[in-house]
Amino acid sequence: MKENIHMFDHPLIQHKLSILRDKNTGSKQFRELVNEIATLMCYEATRDLPLKEIDVETPVATARTKVLDGRKLAFIPILRAGLGMVEGALTLVPAAKVGHIGLYRDPETLDPVEYYCKLPGDMNERDVIVVDPMLATGGSAVAAINLIKQHNPKSIKFMCILAAPEGMKAFTEAHPEIPVYCAAMDQRLNDHGYIVPGLGDAGDRIFGTK
């Protein structure tokens, strides 16, 4: 595994992911779990945020202590399924801005089709974390990052819950410098570009469509 691919072996994440995979898990619980996993992953993905020292008056004395060094974050979900991870990420960084990129996979070609893009105006001042639960062929994530790079953010990370080896390879070949945070790597893609064993269609399961 390349050094900027961060896999998660935390028991809480693995346990929650097992419930997500279960076809009998309903939309309400599915949504809650996607958000909870996003929170846990975001904790790790923000580990390198810089700190500065300040003085704080405690009831007892002056403490020399640390706070975040004014870094501006943006979470950018790839619609629709990425929306499911936003609240979970915002739980940890409520001041972050949220951009949106709408992409869907053409069911025949599996190529991503862009239909929406609204990003914060000050992208060049922001550290970006792109969120999408699924990295399947990698087409959507690669296209989203291509788009975001045109706006010159300070840095970009990509956070997904499940990946197929094919998608991870495509992503790291297209964007080798971008750190990837991923909860689990599955076996393969099937003929329809679904991750096997996977969890099905993440967007449909989050929003109860189909």
Residues annotated as part of the active site? 105, 109, 201, 204
Q: Which residues of 16-43 are buried (b: 16+ CB within 10 A; e: fewer)?
A: bbeebeeeebeeeebbbbbbbbbbbbbe
Q: From ligand URA, ligand PRP, none, which one binds at residue 194 (CB under 5 to 8 Å depending on kind)?
A: ligand URA
Report the alpha-carbon distance of residue 96 to residue 75 in Å, rounded.
7
Q: Which of residues 48-107 bind ligand URA (CB under 6 A)?
A: 81
Name the nearest CA neighbour of 144 among 124, 120, 171, 109: 171
Stretch that binds ligand URA, among 20-28, 43-51, 150-158, 190-198 (CB under 6 A): 190-198
Q: From ligand PRP, ligand URA, none, which one binds at residue 139 (CB under 5 to 8 Å depending on kind)?
A: ligand PRP
Shortest distance, position 107 Cβ to ligand URA, whole Å:
11
Cβ-based nearer residue to ligand URA, 102 or 193: 193
Please report, to the nearest 10 degrees, the dihedral formed by the alpha carbons of residues 155, 80, 102, 17 taken in order. 30
Q: Is 134 in the site for ligand URA (CB under 6 A)?
A: yes
Shortest distance, position 92 Cβ to ligand URA, whole Å:
24
Report the alpha-carbon distance of residue 88 to residue 106 in Å, rounded.
28
Q: From ligand URA, ligand PRP, none, which one binds at residue 10 (CB under 5 to 8 Å depending on kind)?
A: none
Cβ-based nearer residue to ligand URA, 44 or 201: 201
Query: Using the rule CB under 6 A, which residue among 83, 159, 170, 195 binds ligand URA?
Result: 195
| Whole-Å CA distances, 157 to 65, 71, 75, 115, 147 | 28, 14, 10, 22, 14
Shortest distance, position 83 Cβ to ligand URA, whole Å:
13
Q: From ligand URA, ligand PRP, none, which one binds at residue 179 (CB under 5 to 8 Å depending on kind)?
A: none
User: Pairing relation of β-strands 72-79 and 97-98?
Assistant: parallel
